[in-house]
Structure 1
Amino acid sequence: MVGSVLGAALLAALTAAVALGSTDVPLSQVWSAVVRGVTGGEPVPGTSDLIVWQLRLPRALLAAVVGAGLGLVGTAVQALVRNPLADPYLLGVSSGASLGAVAAIVLGAGGGGARGLGRTSAGFPGEQKKIALVWAVARRGGGFSSLRLVLAGVGVGQFLSGFTSYLVLRAGDEQQTQGVLFWLMGSLGGARWETLPVPAVTVAAGLVALQARARALNALQMGDETAAALGVRVAGLRRELFVVTSVLTGVLVSVSGAIGFVGLMVPHACRLVAGGDLRRLLPLSALAGAVLLVVVDLAARTVLPDQELPVGVVTSLIGAPALLYLLDRRLERP
């Protein structure tokens, strides 16, 4: 039931995101343009086919993919560290991807300049190196703890963020600096059809991988000793979770910048209606995250006349009060 409602809400949100903007497009033209695009038909002169197919639809779909990925990763990370206030950026992976992507924009690396696959191909190696470094620090001495993993992620993330800030200062002109800062605050403005396959395939693969481990994740949430007694290889599961969530986060950051709070809010909202069983929670969080980010991106494009807000600004305005509420609820518990 909940999944059906979220699916219908996602379809409605995508339709609204494609139809609304600086120039509104009638729903009949939206669907006819989509049909012609899917079937390979030629755009009809004098209609809004190009606006729908080339600009708004790729952006709406990328928002859905990124939102689904953030909701999915947020749920998995909260299970990994057994902390309901965790989000996809808690392990600091975004800083590695951001450093590589900003280097692509500022220094012209990555083969794609400031768009699409250039950012992804440049950000992904940075993210991989960050994963290896954080895991090495967390495993130093042969032990492991969630606290050490989080502290390692935060420490390495802050270190790399310093290099990112330096590269922003090295930007060649004011317009380039503004573009980099806008992207770092979260932006889907660079969405093109060619940017969709990598994050879409990565999110789909991540959902399959995490769903296959949902039972083990349920056990892990009850504690390491309980999980081990139920036959879960705790150390191996944590390693797999860390790799999957880190790769997902790195790819998402490479195409959209760091969009905060989605991975924090969505799992909590889904738990309220679906409970804590990760077999249901993971796919529902992906759907809810997709709906949320499509709606937020639409608001970022339309709430101010002739001006687009960074998506991360809108999610922060929503997410910060939500975080304070969650903290207050936790402090009230005996």
Structure 2
Amino acid sequence: MTSRTSNLNPSQHNSRAHLAGKPTWGFTTILLLTAGLLLSVTLAVMLGPVAVTPGTIWRIALSHLPWLDQWIPVTWTKPEQYIVWEIRFPRVLLGVVVGAGLAVTGATIQALIRNSLADPYILGVSSGASVTATLVIVFGAFGFLGRLALPLSAFIGSLTAMLMVFALARVAGSISTTRLLLAGVAVSMMLSAVTSFIVTMAPNEKGIRDAMYWMMGSLAGAQWDTLFIPSLIVAVGTAVLLTRYRSLNALLTGEETAVTLGVNVQTFRVLLVVVASLLTGAVVSVSGSIGFVGLMIPHIVRLIVGSDHRRVLPVSLLAGAIFVVWADVCARLVLAPQELPIGIVTAVCGGPFFVWLLRRSSYSFGGEK
């Protein structure tokens, strides 16, 4: 009797072999990255015009936990309390959430279209979120939604952009990787032009300045009350994807193979589109458009731990968080006391990485080159 896998082409065999590769690296890598994330958060809060010791940082943080506050003596000054808890900690934690969300979204989109050149920024998803989010920032649109106005509008924009990309890429009922990437670039350019037009129509100079700075990416507006919604969405979205890691793995082997493995490809694609749009919208609404994180991090992670999404997703989450935390440190300190938009820092890193990917002989997961 002929084995089912004997009908797979060589690229599908390679994909399956890669899915099973490097199993021992997963758990160890997660532990190391978790320790690295804690260290990165500590150092990022320490660094700045006013030096703060690690012990002071964590005493201040733990003193805000209801069951520990009475056991921690106050050995810090009020300025230290304000700098650590009100300014630096929310910003660093927002960097953690943004990096985690962008990396997980990048891994999802790359699995969705089976190509490592894809990310929310390149496919125009971030640009779509930027259009509707800029409307909220500049004109106060959807004000009746209150605090939900920005994340909800960004989600609508990102979902619309992704649907546009898939609609433009579908020819004769089929979608190719090349058409998806080209459609993503086209949609991104069109929506960026729309965003620029919205900014030029701002009623005052402050609105223009705020919108332009936000469009280049920034964590400067981080506050504790802005953390809850994106943190919840990133956590829930990642958990949903982890429960479907087998379907993500099957998708990498090709649509026909995924169907034979019991995956309802059409329904699963809809789920991935909605989750990716929701994650992108949540992140863009609080940080602006930050490019290349979703491109670089998942690709590097796959080189380390293989293509099994049971490992790729949590490792990408941690690695993305660490990367954005340090990108924000660079944005804060390189030209201090002035501050660079974080999108410039990620572009400096991501641009050469993208060129490197283009120069490789193969950049797909076993299908189209």
State the TM-score, normalizing by the size of structure 2.
0.82
Larger mean Cα displacement after TM superposition, 43-52 or 264-273: 43-52
**Equivalent residue for 1:111, pick from 135, 143, 151:** 143
- Is 1:36 paired with 2:63? yes
Q: Which residue of 1 aligns with 2:259?
A: 228
Kindly indicate whether the alpha-carbon contact (under 8 Å) linking 2:99 and 2:321 is maintained by their aligned counterparts in 1.
yes
- 1:162 deviates by 2.3
Cα distance between partner residues in 2 of 1:84 and 1:313:
22
Q: Aligned residues: percent identity?
A: 47
Q: Which residue of 2 aligns with 1:300?
A: 331
Could you give the per-residue CA deviations for residues 19-40 of structure 1, whole angstroms, max 9, x where no partner exists? 1112221222211211222339
Cα distance between partner residues in 2 of 1:57 and 1:317:
25
Q: Which residue of 1 aligns with 2:47?
A: 20
- Is 1:71 paired with 2:98? no
Q: Which residue of 2 aligns with 1:53?
A: 85
**Equivalent residue for 2:288, pick from 257, 271, 274:** 257
Larger mean Cα displacement after TM superposition, 40-49 or 314-323: 40-49
Q: Unmatched 5+ residue regions in structure 1? A: none
- Is 1:7 paired with 2:39? no
- 1:176 deviates by 3.0
- 1:118 deviates by 4.8
- Is 1:242 paired with 2:269? no
- 1:128 deviates by 4.2
Cα distance between partner residues in 2 of 1:263 and 1:304:
26
Residues 269 and 183 of structure 1, relative CA distance in 2, 3 Å threshold: same
State the TM-score, normalizing by the size of structure 1.
0.90
The structure having more radius of gyration, on CA atoms, is: 2
Kindly indicate whether the alpha-carbon contact (under 8 Å) linking 1:116 and 1:190 is maintained by their aligned counterparts in 2.
no
SS state at 1:189 partner: coil
- 1:141 deviates by 6.8
Residues 160 and 326 of structure 1, relative CA distance in 2, 3 Å threshold: closer
Cα distance between partner residues in 1 of 2:295 and 2:38:
23
Q: Which residue of 2 aligns with 1:330?
A: 361
- 1:111 deviates by 3.2
Residues 239 and 118 of structure 1, relative CA distance in 2, 3 Å threshold: closer
- 1:300 deviates by 0.7
Kindly indicate whether the alpha-carbon contact (under 8 Å) linking 1:68 and 1:285 is maintained by their aligned counterparts in 2.
yes
Aligned-residue RMSD, C-alpha: 2.8
- Is 1:93 paired with 2:120? no
Kindly indicate whether the alpha-carbon contact (under 8 Å) linking 1:117 and 1:194 is maintained by their aligned counterparts in 2.
no
Q: Which amino acid aligns with 1:30?
A: I
Cα distance between partner residues in 2 of 1:141 and 1:215:
29
**Equivalent residue for 1:290, pick from 316, 321, 326:** 321
Residues 221 and 128 of structure 1, relative CA distance in 2, 3 Å threshold: closer
Cα distance between partner residues in 1 of 2:363 and 2:227:
43
Cα distance between partner residues in 2 of 1:156 and 1:326:
22
- Is 1:269 paired with 2:300? yes
- Is 1:62 paired with 2:89? no
- 1:305 deviates by 2.0
Residues 20 and 75 of structure 1, relative CA distance in 2, 3 Å threshold: same
Cα distance between partner residues in 2 of 1:209 and 1:28:
36
Residues 311 and 222 of structure 1, relative CA distance in 2, 3 Å threshold: same
Residues 112 and 269 of structure 1, relative CA distance in 2, 3 Å threshold: farther
- Is 1:196 paired with 2:227? yes
Cα distance between partner residues in 2 of 1:143 and 1:86:
18
Cα distance between partner residues in 1 of 2:61 and 2:253:
47
Residues 214 and 120 of structure 1, relative CA distance in 2, 3 Å threshold: same
Kindly indicate whether the alpha-carbon contact (under 8 Å) linking 1:274 and 1:281 is maintained by their aligned counterparts in 2.
yes
Cα distance between partner residues in 2 of 1:237 and 1:54:
41
- 1:178 deviates by 2.3
SS state at 1:307 partner: coil
- 1:132 deviates by 5.0
Cα distance between partner residues in 1 of 2:343 and 2:144:
23
Kindly indicate whether the alpha-carbon contact (under 8 Å) linking 2:124 and 2:162 is maintained by their aligned counterparts in 1.
no
Cα distance between partner residues in 1 of 2:363 and 2:271:
34
Q: Which residue of 1 aligns with 2:17?
A: none
Kindly indicate whether the alpha-carbon contact (under 8 Å) linking 1:187 and 1:257 is maintained by their aligned counterparts in 2.
yes
Could you give the per-residue CA deviations for residues 42-96 of structure 1, whole angstroms, max 9, x where no partner exists? 9865440111111111111110011011111111111111111111223322222
- 1:133 deviates by 4.7
- 1:123 deviates by 2.6
Q: Which residue of 2 aligns with 1:212?
A: 243
Q: Which amino acid aligns with 1:160?
A: L
